[in-house]
Amino acid sequence: LQASVLLHGRLYLTSYHLCFRSNIVGYITEKIYPLSEVVKVERSTTAKWIQNAVSVTFVNEQGEDEVVGYGSMGDREAMYEMLMDTWK
């Protein structure tokens, strides 16, 4: 998850949600995004040139677009295709 600080964790995809969970030395971060709030899914990069990330744009509770990046994926294409198939 790319936020103000990069977090190492796991990304979970269900029929209705995209979820992220990180547990680093007891500091737990959990995010759950309904797929119904997704407006865009794009292939993206980390470190400006490493092609191993996916960016997902959601509409947040304030009605504004929120972009969340997920990087360092072993198989970005597989994750991108699963996201697209599940989202649509």
Query: What burial letters (b/e) apply to 60-76, b meaning 16+ CB within 10 Å?
Result: eeeeeeeebbbbebeeb
5 vs 61: which has the higher pLDDT = 61
pTM of the model: 0.80
Mean pLDDT over the full length of the chain: 88
Domain covering 10-87 in this structure, CATH number? 2.30.29.30
- Does the pLDDT of residue 43 top 60, yes or no? yes
For residue 26, count other CB atoms closer than 10 A to its CB: 5
* Of 60, 62, 54, 64, nearest in space to 86 by CA: 54
pLDDT value at residue 50: 78
Integer Cα distance of 69 and 1 in angstroms: 6
